[in-house]
Structure 1
Amino acid sequence: MKLGSLCEQNENRVAITPSVAKNLIKLGCSIVLEHNYGNHLFDSALFTDVGVEFGSKQDVLKAGCLVQVSVPKDSIAMIPADTVLLALTKPFQDKDVLNQLASQRVTTLSMEFVPRSTRAQKMDAISSQANLAGYVAVILASQRLDSIMPMMMTPAGTLPPAKVFIIGAGVAGLQAIATARRMGANVTAFDTRPVAEEQVRSLGASFLKIDLGETGQTDQGYAKELTQEQLDMQREMMKKTCVTSDVVITTAQVFGRKAPTIVTADMVSSMKKGSVIVDCATSTGGNVEGIEPGQVIEKNGIHLIGTMELSREVANHASEMYASNIYNFLAEFLTKEEPISLTLDTSDDIIASMLTIQNGELVQPMLLDILNKQGVS
């Protein structure tokens, strides 16, 4: 089976790395990459040494399966019908792109829909990238903060540790907690899911308890959407913690929906000068009022970091992890005998969840349900 990957547009991560290419070739695949592919991260010789070919965009598009970080929007009209595309498709933000892929009859598998299960964990690109995002959020905050993270005892006196408040204890939040603790900060965290308290405390952080009534999580492990009354109650209680914090990091997202606004402009203005806020949810609407997506700004002496897709800040490791997710998917579903091909059996729960477009139609159940509720056709 021939795999292809085009140079990414406005994206510094790649879907195939030299080490993963070597493993894919061992599975029986041949690989063609567009000229200059990943040359900001890897020397081309690292690819050719393991058997990868380089070619033109047209050469890559002849492959039966395209693997990408993001959908190659400017090339959709050139993709042959029945080509398999494996990518982060942003299904809830880029409906027009999905329609174009459907019109072109591109069989599309969305990495966002890898189910949260033990078997699929090694393919879960959302979690792998969120893990890095949590780490990067703390690093960016420490760079902007006008004080140090750890407590420091010196002959001149003792410097107290920074107080870090992390909102959301999913994958990104837990990594942010672990990173901030390793840097010596005093960490407090909050999550609407009661099950998160034990995880937070196991990392050495304090857990902020707020009685919001009925909350919980979905069967995929995501936090459920709160009512307006619950959101108002949550903001009121969190404001007290924000006032005393040096750093606030928000990671709260509801899968398939706009991220909730958790930190209001009033809460931001109540923080002390020199404080830093990092919003990890800017790509889905943002948790912080006043944050500008993709920008780092200062308001009344408070640094607001709205950098999108934080894992891009560590593109080398982000690419390695994403490429490993791709490899693990293909290793699971490529046939083991010649001719090597990709099996898309919808009786398998992973394929049934990831398959987004087939035979020119949107088929992903959750996506269809959300679009129907929104009245989108």
Structure 2
Amino acid sequence: MTIAILKEPINETRVSLLPEAADTLTKQNIVVNIEKNAGALAYAPDELYQSKNIRIAERTEILNASDIILTIQPLSQEEITALKTNAILIGIYQPLFNYQFIKQLAEKNITAFSLDMMPRTTRAQSMDVLSSQANIAGYKAVLEAANIYPRYFPMFMTAAGSIKPARVLILGAGVAGLQAIATARRLGAVVEVFDTRPAVKEEVMSLGAKFIEVEGAADASKAGGYAVEQTEEYKQRQQQKIAASVAKADIIITTAQIPGRKAPVLITNEMLDSMKPGSIIIDLAAATGGNTLQTKNNETVKYKNITIVGNSNLAATMPGDASKLYGKNVLNFLQLIITKEGNINLNFEDDIVAGCCITHGGKVVNERVGGLIDKLIG
């Protein structure tokens, strides 16, 4: 059996497996190929892979001949055509948004596993790519804000006068949000946090931040750790609370996303108008529309002396550790579909395997994705 590691698109610095992780597969009698310079931006040159008996191959060969192909970003339409029938593709494909891509995979009879659809269960934690990468994103979001912000983060008392600490507002207390809280507190900021899930209050407060409570939130206990859609009445109360905190904030980190939906707009233009000149917003939900009306994905926007950074891929700014963590997630998942002898065994009785599988046998097998494709493109 052959497993191949593809080089990612030009704006993606991570690689699916670093040499040490890939070496684990070679010890299972699996042939591992990697595209030339695939790990270069993650500081893993071809020589390191070759020292682990991993063969450097051309992209065309990898696409045409591999049994399992590891990527992070989706492939192009031409590359899907080049894949051999029944090949297995593993990556982060956002199938609820990239439905055209998913439809093409089904038509080519490719089995695709999208690791961002990983069930949020205790057993799946070691394979949860969203959590491992969000941790990095939350950390880097605060550092990015500190780098742009024209003032200090911590309080300073000097002979020339006192400097007040920066006020940081974090919208969303998932993995990224919690790491952002911890990082901002380490830098000496005063931190407020909003989340629709009351259950996260204790975690927020344990990190030294203030939790902004809004009564009447919809029950998210059965949403697998994700946020859920709220009522209009709740949204009105929510906006009033957020508006008061936005006006006081120097830095805002937004992370709020709902799977399969456009990111909720939490910061209106009126709220932006109330912010102090020089304030910073780092929007981690930019790829799905952003949490402000002014956010543009992969762009930094100036709005009335406020800087809005739209970046949903901050993990790629730390490619070494991001690749290491992603690779460990991938290895743990591969152990569910590969036998100890190095053969493919797709056990769809396993809830993790079934949960991540989007296409198989020429069909879209994920009901939610399939229903969306039928509705939008037929």
User: Common fold, TM-score beyond 0.5?
Assistant: yes
Of 35-44 and 318-327, more deviation after overlay is shown by 35-44
1:114 aligns with: 118
The question of whether the paired residues in 2 share the 8 Å contact of 1:256 and 1:370 is answered with no
Give, in whole Å, the separation in 2 of the partners of 1:28 and 1:202. Answer: 47
| Cα distance per residue 1:114-154 (max 9 Å; x no partner) | 11111111111111111111111111111111111111222
Alpha-carbon distance, 1:212 to partner: 3.1
Q: Which letter does structure 1 place at the counterpart of 2:162?
A: T
CA distance in 1, matches of 2:20, 2:282: 33
Aligned residue number for residue 71 of structure 1: 74
CA shift, 1:6, in A, is: 1.9
Taking only the aligned residue pairs, the percentage that are identical comes to 36
Letter in 2 for 1:238: I
Aligned to 1:93: 97
Distance 1:15 1:271 in 2: 40
Aligned residue for 1:36, secondary structure, equals coil
Q: Which residue does 2:9 correspond to in 1?
A: 9
Pairwise CA distance, 1:375: 5.0
Match of 1:20 in 2: 21
Select which of 331, 346, 371 maps to 1:344. 346
Q: Distance between the aligned counterparts of 1:299 and 1:58, measured in 2? A: 45
> Any idea what the Cα deviations from partners look like across 1:197-219, whole Å, max 9, x if unmatched?
00100111111111134443434
Q: For 1:370 and 1:149, how far apart are their aligned partners in 2?
A: 44
Give the letter aligned to residue 68 of structure 1: T
Structure 1 stretches of 5 or more lacking a match? none
Q: CA separation in 2, counterparts of 1:28 and 1:152?
A: 59
User: Is this contact kept in 2: 1:217–1:224, CA < 8 A?
Assistant: no
Between the aligned partners of 1:151 and 1:23, the Cα distance in structure 2 is 48
Query: 1:192, 1:215 within 8 Å by CA — same for their partners in 2?
Result: no
Within 5 Å, which residues of 2 pair with 1:305-320?
305-320=309-324
Letter in 1 for 2:4: G
Aligned to 2:235: 231
User: Residue 215 of structure 2 contacts residue 234 of structure 2 at CA under 8 Å; is this kept in 1?
Assistant: no
1:242 aligned to 2:246?
yes
Offset, 1:370: 4.5
Q: Secondary structure at the match of 1:71?
A: coil
Secondary structure at the counterpart of residue 197 of structure 2: coil
TM-superposed CA distance for 1:156, in Å, is 2.2
Uncovered stretches (5+) of structure 2, i.e. residues with no partner: none
Equivalent position of 2:32 in the other structure: 31
Equivalent residues, number? 374
Matching residue's letter, 2:345: T
Question: How far 1:295 moved relative to its partner?
Answer: 0.7
Matched, 1:104 2:129: no
Q: Does 1:264 align with 2:264?
A: no
Please state if 1:355 is matched with 2:357. yes
Q: Structure 1, residues 6-56: CA drift from partner, whole Å, max 9, x if none?
A: 221232211111121122222332211112222223221111111110011
Q: TM-score, normalised by structure 1?
A: 0.95
Give CA deviations for 1:40-75 in whole Å, capped at 9, x if unaligned. Answer: 232211111111100112321212110111122141
RMSD between superposed Cα atoms in Å: 1.5
2:21, 2:331 within 8 Å by CA — same for their partners in 1?
yes
In the alignment, the residues of structure 1 paired with residue 15 and residue 162 of structure 2 have an alpha-carbon distance, to the nearest angstrom, of 45
Q: In the alignment, is the contact (CA less than 8 A) between 2:103 and 2:373 conserved in 1?
A: no
What pairs with 1:179-258 in structure 2 (closer than 5 Å)? Answer: 179-258=183-262
Question: What is the match of residue 369 of structure 2?
Answer: 367
Q: Which moved more, 1:92-101 or 1:153-162?
A: 153-162
Q: Would the alpha carbon gap of residues 70 and 190 (structure 1) be closer, same or farther in structure 2, given more than 3 Å must change?
A: same
Q: How far has the Cα of 1:333 moved from its partner? A: 3.0
SS across alignment from 1:195: helix
